[in-house]
Amino acid sequence: MPKIAVVFPGSDSHFIGMYKALYDEYSIVRDTIHEAEQATGIPLGELCFKGPLSVLSRPENAHAAIVAFGVAAFRVFVSETGITPQFCAGHSLGEYTALVCAGAMKLSDTLKLVQLRTEISKEIQTAVDGGMTIVDGIDAEAVEKICKQQQRNGRHVYVSCYNSSTQVAISGLQEDVEETEKIIGKEHGSVTPLFDSAPFHCPVMERGAEKLQKAIARLPLGEFRYPVMSNYTGKPYVRIQDVEENLVRHLSNPVRWEEIIRYFESKGVRLVIDFSARNIFEGMIQHKPSLRTICFGVREEREKLFQLLNSSDDDGSRSTFISKSLLAALSTPNQHVERYVNGADVADHYHKLSEISMELEQGRIALSNEVKRSILLLLKRIFDAKKLGRDEQTQWFQQILDETSSTYLNLIEIE
């Protein structure tokens, strides 16, 4: 099994019809989008599938949709494969998606935070008239030199994203960005303005830092299930406490995507799973021959990915819902005073778990929410028969749900 990194897209990756096949095929996606709609008050499914594009493209709608569907797609991946990625990363806005998928933040909290981020960017955009442009075909260092010269001339324009060695973004005051575009054109670079975009990831956004910081400080944070890469540092988060500082600095400092990809290479990652709806990252990573990119949001590539993972003979790297439940059933001690009294009950429930495992392995049933509920109810009966304490039961259930990205499901009441 190759080392895997999962990556999530940022703003401007939306389009009408995105993730429609996943939404139709998987109840997990529908449940997640319903959860997101409840949190935001936005009809995300209807907007994404029916439009109009002009309404979907409003930042408050597009950004929420990108995060929500990214989380939904990742939940499908974990539910279907049980595989644990070595790293999670998200480009710009996508870092919020990565933090949810890694268990650091709740989806509902994160969507509200993303809505606040959008409000902050609108306020700044209204106050200063900022802009952002993608630059291709010219060395990143050359663009850096142009921007620094412009700054010396009193202009506010900065490199805001280092996407690859030959693609960056620049942000700043709109007039200054446009003047810099002309210079880049003379140096044979090409520019793609991001219309109506705020000047993200540059010092112009610093005035929004305090409001964002106060909102993040109020959020409950979990522990990382997988390492998450920081756009601000280009390296993995070290502590959960770093979320506040990194996301605040992320607002006004450049995205170090090229460094993140180099870090993947240095750690032996060979497969990058792109959770955008249409190969957003292929162009950014194609110059890295050691890395293979497969887009989970495209049906044909998703099927190719499942075939690749199923053909791997390293089944020990998989971390499945049923295998973790069987492990919990076997490894917990029997605390019952008269073990012979409850032994038959434990064996009977374990036998039923084993039968479900066999049916899943043979493809006779799918790992639906209902099947997960049945598995955990059987496991609870085993715990109860063994007289396992409430706290220890809770720890086992939480571990299973966390490590299989099923924490969004209200599967069982532990009384």
Give pLDDT tens digits for 229-240.
Answer: 999 999 999 899
- Residue 341 is predicted with a pLDDT of 45
The class (CATH top level) of 3-124+203-311 is: alpha beta
**Greater model confidence, 397 or 14:** 14
**Cα 225 → chain centroid:** 12
Structural domain spans, the chain = 3-124+203-311, 125-193, 321-403
Structure-token match 């993140």, residue found:
260
Task: Burial-class residue 281 by CB neighbours within 10 Å (0-12, 13-18, 19+).
Answer: buried
- Residue 286 is predicted with a pLDDT of 73
Mean pLDDT of 60-83: 94
Given the candidates 3.30.70.250, 3.40.50.150, 3.50.50.100, 1.10.540.10, the CATH classification of the domain at 125-193 is: 3.30.70.250
- Mean pLDDT, the chain, integer: 90
Alpha helices in 86-237 (DSSP H): 94-101, 107-128, 140-152, 174-186, 209-217
Mean pLDDT of 281-293: 86
Is beta strand 292-295 parallel, antiparallel or unpaired with respect to 87-90?
A: unpaired
Give pLDDT tens digits for 46-61.
Answer: 999 999 999 999 999 9
Helix/strand/coil for 5 = strand
Q: Between the CA of residue 389 and those of 38, 331, 373, what are the distances in Å?
A: 35, 14, 21
**Strand blocks (E) in 240-367:** 269-274, 292-295
CB 404 within 8 Å of CB 321: yes
Q: Is residue 343 very low, low, confident or very high in pLDDT (cuts 50, 70, 90)?
A: low
Give pLDDT tens digits for 377-393.
Answer: 999 999 999 888 888 88
Q: How many helices (H) and strands (E) does the chain have?
A: 18, 8
Q: Is residue 410 very low, low, confident or very high in pLDDT (cuts 50, 70, 90)?
A: low
- Residue 406 is predicted with a pLDDT of 57
Q: Is the pLDDT of residue 415 over 80?
A: no
- Residue 314 is predicted with a pLDDT of 46
Helix/strand/coil for 273 = strand
- Residue 317 is predicted with a pLDDT of 39
